[in-house]
Amino acid sequence: MKSLVLLLAIATLLVVPAASQILYENGPINGNTDAWTINFGFLLSDSVTISTGNSTVTGLSFGVWLTPGDTMETAQVTLSSDPVGSGTIFFNGMVSFTQSGCVVNNYGYDVCTETGSFPGTNLTNGEYWLTLQNATDTEGDPVYWDENSGEGCHSPGCPSEAKSTLTGSDPSEAFSILGTASTTGTSSVPEPGSLMLFASGVLAAGALVRRKLS
């Protein structure tokens, strides 16, 4: 029965707006291996490959770990040419997120999907960097970005690289970049209807978690 409840929760996690396309995805949420702090002064960047021609990025969906009962509200989102929000900045702002499909993992954390939208940002084919930081939640607790090492990703250029100011290179995280693609562009990225952000990894027994709590 417990597994059935979790499977039903997973089935509700496709929260990509109908009008949006997944421009890049780095695989489903793992939920049981590890997660990295994206508030209290910590930030993390993952590489993004745009292969859909001239595209307009309008949103983001990603996986978080939270203290049970918490709700993530906002996070600072940066799209730039270089990691940790450096180089040319294409978008930088605080974005409001909607939380959905939370399940409890093996370590007692709520693992949730966060989806937010922001003003359209035009990107051509190439590599960019997504940086998340300054996340806020209802209780003022840490917010952790789920680490999945890009397992199960389908986009050209995946798995992502990941970099932080604290540790340098890290395994990459679970996220999807949303928007609209040029009609002349080509892509093998799955359409929203064929991809769920959350996989069965949260149902499996995880290895010893290495929390990034500082």
Alpha-carbon span 96 to 118, nearest angstrom: 9
| C-beta of residue 42 within 8 angstroms of C-beta of residue 36 | yes
pLDDT at 144: 98
For 183, which DSSP code?
Answer: T
| Domain parsing of the chain, residue ranges | 2-190
Cβ-count burial of 53 within 10 angstroms (0-12 exposed, 13-18 middle, 19+ buried)? middle
Show Cβ contacts of residue 45 under 8 Å, excluding neighbours closer than 6 positions.
Answer: 83, 84, 85, 129, 130, 131, 162, 163, 164
- Total Cβ atoms within 10 A of residue 176: 28
Residue range 70-92, pLDDT digits in tens: 999 999 999 999 999 999 999 99
Residue range 111-131, pLDDT digits in tens: 999 999 999 999 999 999 999
Residue range 27-62, pLDDT digits in tens: 999 999 999 999 999 999 999 999 999 999 999 999
Tokens of residue 23, six digits:
């421009």
Alpha-carbon span 61 to 119, nearest angstrom: 15
Coil vs helix vs strand at 178: strand
Mean pLDDT for all residues in the chain: 83
The separation between the first and the last C-alpha atoms of the chain, rounded to the nearest angstrom, is: 37
Is the pLDDT reported for residue 180 higher than 90? yes
Domain 2-190: CATH architecture, name and number where available: Sandwich (2.60)
pLDDT at 108: 97
Show Cβ contacts of residue 83 under 8 Å, excluding neighbours closer than 6 positions.
Answer: 45, 47, 129, 131, 161, 163
pLDDT at 24: 98
